[in-house]
Structure 1
Amino acid sequence: MNILEVNNISKNFEIEQPIAVRIRNFFTRKQAPSFCALNNVSFNVKKGEILGILGESGSGKSTLAKILMGIYSPDSGTAELNSQSIFNLNYSRRLKILRKMQMVFQDPFSSLDPRMTVRRILSEPLKIHGIKPETHIEEFLAQRLKEVGMDPSALNSYPSEFSGGQRQRIGICRALMLNPELLIADEAVSALDVSVQAQILELLLSLQKRRNLSLIFISHDVAVVRQISDRIILLYKGRLVEEIDADKLLTAAKHEYTKRLLESALYLRENIT
């Protein structure tokens, strides 16, 4: 059964131009130049599945994530979470959708407000959505921190007091506060050292199994996506060019872009010491 169905999503962005050029285009009725970030992208995510989205920088991966989270609006296409549309919603309905779908951001250093303690960071989603935990709030927050491998004493600290890996654990913890059914991890380990990457990947896998989460894992790293995913889709210049089971990626890839991506990853692994 699918938890998320995405159909024919397209998104174009206007290319930024100097003010004089924009004024001239306005009076001459010349259309501003644009580039296509996504072109008729369709896919689904099954309940309890980890779907990897793989592609190089500029392929449209992060744009897709931001569209799903409501940060951008698509030019065309539809998306449904549990058979309910996630586009063109009023504020209250949007909040209900966001309770079921949360995001872990790429940069653990900028995604947490440095002025807030961890207690405030984790409590904020509960306040926004009007949720009161069944247990005492302190006990609830402590349990959530333990779930991501953090000591409850972290509640009184600020993000600047933690390493990148610890900050990402806090970011994951924040995303889990509303008990979502679908988690979107956008380049969630790319800013971390290799050893820390492995720890965060293990944490995501553990949480996914324990909570029966669906997970969209977005990355440019072939090895990382292959390691964590059940199924992989590949984006190239805004188009979905291939969909394949993760365990068949190395042996059954058909599209030329996929093959080039695999060859590049193999070359880097063999030549970087």
Structure 2
Amino acid sequence: MADADNRFIARLKLMTPLGIAELLALERLLQDRREFRAGQDIVKAGDRPDQLHIMLSGWACRYKLLGGGGRQIVALLLPGDPCDLDGVLVGRQDTSVATLTSVIVAVVSRDALLSVGRAHPRLADLLLWLTTLDNALMSERIASMGRRSARERVAHLFCELFVRLSSVGLQTSNAFALPFTQEVIGDTLGLTSVHVNRVLQALRKDGLIDLREHMLTVKDWPGLKAVAGFDPNYLHLSGMRAAPTSQEG
């Protein structure tokens, strides 16, 4: 299985052990791959998608456009993330998905997705679990934008990305690629680019991070976590709850 595929498989294995038949079924699902350039929409709000897009490489985001032309990014999508699971399952896409870098996605038809879920119930459970994780990420972002200061929001986002990238093997030291602009950070956290720039300078001055040429180095992980009040429990890295065992009465 190609390395790019392993990012998605790594996410699922993190949640529960997978058998050979399940892994082979997933491999078949990931055969159709497509490339998108940076700045392209993969799906748009209002679409009625019959295909699921799964990130294999690169970065993307889910976003909403507001009446005044502003953009609110509601999720940052990393390798291993489904882009539009809600839209495929519900039947209408509520947010647009755009690429932040060039990306490769696996394209899975809705029929194939449902067929695999029927044949392998544990994989169906995992799809539901991925939706639950999306909700947990959204809840934490709402908490940030509602109650955290700008400094705390930025620090929390960096902590979250650090852990999410680590979980799929894309961060193994104290540095990781951050391949987007301060405007993207602002659109994610409800801040202006100017405000983001001030916060980044302050975090750098305090010796917590260094950011240059789209590479973020965490120089003081305990300190950054303390500023953010970061607790990774909402990422549920311990995996999916085991199914109950039947007991004879």
* TM-score band w.r.t. shorter chain: under 0.3
Return the TM-score normalized by structure 2: 0.25
Structure (1/2) with the larger strand percentage: 1
Higher relative contact order (CA 8 A, sep 6+): 1
Higher Cα Rg: structure 1 or 2? 1
